[in-house]
Amino acid sequence: MNDILHGKFRQIDLNLLVALDALVQERSVSGAAKRLFIGQPAMSHALARLRELLGDEILFRSHGRMEPTCRALTIAAEIRPFLLRIDALTRGQPEFDPATVVQEMRIALSASLESCLLPSLVEHLRMHAPGLQLSVQSGGPLRQLELLQHGEVRLAIDHFPALENDFIGELLGHVPYDCVFNPERVPLGENPGIHEILAQPHIHSTYAGATLSRFDQMLAERSLPPRRIVVRSASLLSIPFVVSESPLVAVLPQTSTRLFRYHQQLRICPVPLEGISLSLHIVRHRRDRNDPLLDYLGSCFHASWKQLDIQPLA
């Protein structure tokens, strides 16, 4: 295994390598001083230190001009590519081209968000980043943050009530809530009021690991009566089938109810409460703060979200 002896480098002023490159390029102490924006005495001092460090004259006068020694030319030829590389690295991020990306990107999404966002996202990536392979893992918010923390995924999208300092989140959008029921089994009209909805028995999904949802918390914050939850389902996928055959009501984010549109016996209507919505954030670990690929993928998710045209009640 190749390793760097950091302690040894402490004995060397690496700025002298920059000075050596300038001296060899300019073949002049005064010219090298101008290139480094230092005075000629300081440059002369650097040359003296280089001679001591390398045991070589570095520059010598011949026929009225300064010439570099063979050793100076050899060392400078080795140093220059590294200096150019360091210069490129410290200039900032190069322009990102998604078409050149060839790698796998692991992300975390809930099943409902995967169904809503991936169709248009995949279409876009096949056109503009064909070498990017997506690997999606599911789970609730807490599980997603665990995956991010351990580096098992690079990006996560969900409702995150609180983020620790290890994570960076940006708002994707706000999702309104819908009420879902079978009008042949539940005595509700086309646009029921909130108290009518709350008076019915409810089914609630605990797929994210929460006994009560953010919706229930918002009801309590508004001093509204709690829902009467009679069934807790472990999966969102079962809810439309249960509601179709039962006198139950489900209240879910619109990103979930969009998946139920093909269940023709169901009625889906907005919950009539202004200002109640679920915030969604795109989250990455702070280690990936300046990753241009994640920046690009985040912009793609924003474009996919915009196509959904989800608008919460004002």
User: 254 near 113, Cβ under 8 Å?
Assistant: no
Q: How far apart are CA 285 and CA 152, in angstroms?
A: 11
All structural domains of the chain: 6-90 (1.10.10.10), 102-173+278-308 (3.40.190.10), 175-276 (3.40.190.10)
Q: How far apart are CA 254 and CA 115, in angstroms?
A: 12
Residue-level pLDDT at 314: 59
Residue-level pLDDT at 209: 46
pLDDT of the chain, 314 residues: tens digit per residue? 466 665 556 667 888 989 999 999 999 999 999 999 999 999 999 999 999 989 999 999 888 888 999 999 999 999 998 888 888 777 766 678 999 999 999 999 988 899 999 999 999 999 999 999 999 998 889 999 999 999 999 999 999 988 999 999 999 999 999 999 999 999 998 889 999 999 999 999 876 545 468 899 899 999 999 999 999 988 888 999 999 999 999 999 999 999 898 899 999 999 998 888 999 999 999 999 989 999 999 999 999 999 998 887 65
Residue-level pLDDT at 269: 94
pLDDT tens figures, 263-294: 999 999 999 988 889 999 999 999 999 899 99
Q: How far apart are CA 89 and CA 82, in angstroms?
A: 10
Taking the chain, what is the end-to-end CA distance rounded to the nearest angstrom?
A: 61
Give the number of residues written for the chain. 314
Residue-level pLDDT at 126: 95
Residue-level pLDDT at 124: 96
User: 22 near 35, Cβ under 8 Å?
Assistant: yes
Residue-level pLDDT at 119: 94
Residue-level pLDDT at 1: 47
pLDDT tens figures, 104-124: 999 999 888 999 999 999 999
Q: How many CB atoms lie within 10 A of CB 266?
A: 19
Residue-level pLDDT at 207: 61
Residue-level pLDDT at 155: 97
Residue-level pLDDT at 5: 61
Partners of 103 in beta bridges:
132
Token output for 12: 């060397």
User: 251 near 214, Cβ under 8 Å?
Assistant: no
